């Protein structure tokens, strides 16, 4: 599905750019014809522009034609194999602006085609350029000579038009690229968020907590900071689900997540450990941690009372040591919660050293 969506996006972008090219072709052709008439170029110099107007107009009348790759190939084949060499000859050879059109066509071909088709047109463009240079060198008599003023006025119109057309094509591609990049960044941010977060509470998930704890241990973060790992759960959560239903159980989980995020600072790592268990990596003094724990208890007690059910929580706490590992911290925190439960629930139990 992703690759298909990407392919559709690329086709849509190519079609947009091709329509811009066709519209630009009409404008360029009309201006060139007017300029040729004003500056005294023979009618022969305008035939290629009239043909180009016909091709571009034909493709613009039906969008499905412009979207068809065969028509795109025919269009660029005409430009490369007919318009450029003929235009170079009947507009004064190297004295005209053919090199600008070659450059403009080079940009367009790179946007429109891939692999073999693109390579074929690029090689053809280079070959046509080399060929017309050789012809001009060997057969200079076939190239008409125009006055300096005529060539000057022609360049004054043609070169700005060529530059402007190049700018429009590059800008369109650049804008689309920038939009796609921004969309990709938004998608990556969403993916990163969902990869790190618990979907019910919005807290970090267990994997992120483990990674965060491990990274801080690797960075020797705890050597200069007093930090605690706090694991807690809802006492008798099964009874809550059985009494009030699983929907209310999810509401309780959300409420615990909400108050936890509200009470613990941003530099804490607040995560849902799984089920009705939560874990916090807190940096600060123990007294402030105890105050926050008491506030969580009090908040959830009031929440339960407002819903006619008793809700209490048990907490297991351990201070993290300099020589700790991720496994030792989590094991010690889990043991502390087990002890809090063993002591009658709705308790906090603190461990500094490993339990033997």
Q: What is the residue extent of each domain of the chain?
A: 2-190, 206-351
| Phi and psi, residue 165, nearest 5° | -65, -40
pLDDT at 312 over 70: yes
Neighbouring C-beta atoms of residue 300, cutoff 10 Å? 19
Least confident of 15-29, 144-158, 200-214, 328-342: 144-158
pLDDT at 354: 47
pLDDT at 7: 47
Pair 330, 274: CB distance under 8 Å: no
pLDDT at 356 over 60: no
pLDDT at 339 over 90: yes
Residue 46, token pair as written in the block:
């305008």
pLDDT tier at 172 (50, 70, 90 boundaries)?
confident
pLDDT at 292: 96
Please name the CATH architecture into which domain 206-351 falls: 2-Layer Sandwich (3.30)
pLDDT at 11 over 90: no
pLDDT at 314: 97
pLDDT at 170: 79
% helix, strand, coil for the chain, step of 5:
70, 10, 20
Residue pLDDT, tens place only, 280-298: 999 999 999 999 999 999 9
Of 24 and 232, which is predicted with more confidence? 232
pLDDT tier at 71 (50, 70, 90 boundaries)?
confident
pLDDT at 4: 44
Instruction: Return the exposure string of 339-350: e unless at least 16 CB atoms fall within 10 Å of the residue's CB, then b.
Output: bbbeeeebbbbb
pLDDT at 209 over 90: yes
pLDDT at 353: 59
51-116-128-18 Cα dihedral, nearest 10 degrees: 30
345: enclosing H helix or E strand: none
Q: 348 - beta bridge partners?
A: 315
For the CA atoms of the chain, what is the radius of gyration? 37
pLDDT at 6 over 90: no
- Tell which residue, 263, 257, 304, 299, has the closest CA to residue 282: 263
pLDDT at 355 over 60: no
């Amino acid at each position: 599905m992703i690759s298909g969506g990407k392919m559709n996006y690329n086709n849509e972008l190519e079609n947009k750019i091709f329509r811009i090219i066709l519209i630009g072709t009409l404008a360029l052709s009309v201006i060139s014809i007017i300029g040729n008439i004003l500056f005294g170029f023979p009618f022969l110099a305008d035939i290629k522009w009239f043909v180009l107007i016909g091709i571009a107009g034909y493709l613009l009348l039906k969008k499905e034609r412009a979207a068809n790759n065969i028509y795109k190939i025919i269009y660029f084949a005409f430009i490369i194999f007919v318009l450029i060499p003929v235009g170079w000859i009947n507009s004064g050879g190297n004295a005209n602006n053919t090199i600008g059109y070659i450059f403009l066509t080079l940009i367009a071909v790179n946007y429109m085609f891939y692999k073999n088709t693109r390579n074929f047109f690029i090689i053809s463009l280079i070959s046509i350029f080399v060929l017309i240079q050789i012809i001009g060198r060997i057969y200079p008599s076939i190239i008409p000579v125009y006055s300096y003023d005529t060539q000057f006025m022609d360049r004054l119109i043609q070169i700005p038009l060529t530059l402007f057309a190049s700018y429009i094509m590059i800008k369109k591609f650049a804008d689309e690229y920038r939009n796609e990049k921004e969309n990709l960044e938004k998608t990556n941010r969403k993916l990163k968020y969902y990869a790190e977060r618990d979907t019910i509470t919005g807290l970090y998930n267990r994997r992120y907590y483990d990674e965060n704890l491990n990274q801080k241990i690797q960075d020797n973060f705890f050597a200069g900071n007093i930090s605690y790992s706090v694991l807690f759960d809802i006492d008798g959560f099964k009874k809550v689900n059985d009494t009030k239903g699983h929907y209310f159980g999810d509401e309780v989980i959300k409420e615990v997540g909400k108050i936890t995020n509200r009470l613990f600072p941003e530099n804490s790592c607040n995560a849902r450990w799984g089920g009705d268990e939560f874990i916090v990596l807190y940096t600060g003094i123990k007294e402030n941690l105890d105050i926050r724990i008491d506030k969580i208890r009090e908040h959830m007690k009031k929440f339960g009372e407002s819903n006619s059910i008793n809700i209490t929580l048990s907490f297991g706490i351990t201070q993290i040591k300099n020589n700790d590992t991720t496994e030792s911290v989590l094991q010690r925190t889990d043991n502390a919660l087990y002890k809090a439960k063993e002591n009658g629930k709705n308790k906090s139990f603190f461990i500094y050293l490993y339990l033997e």
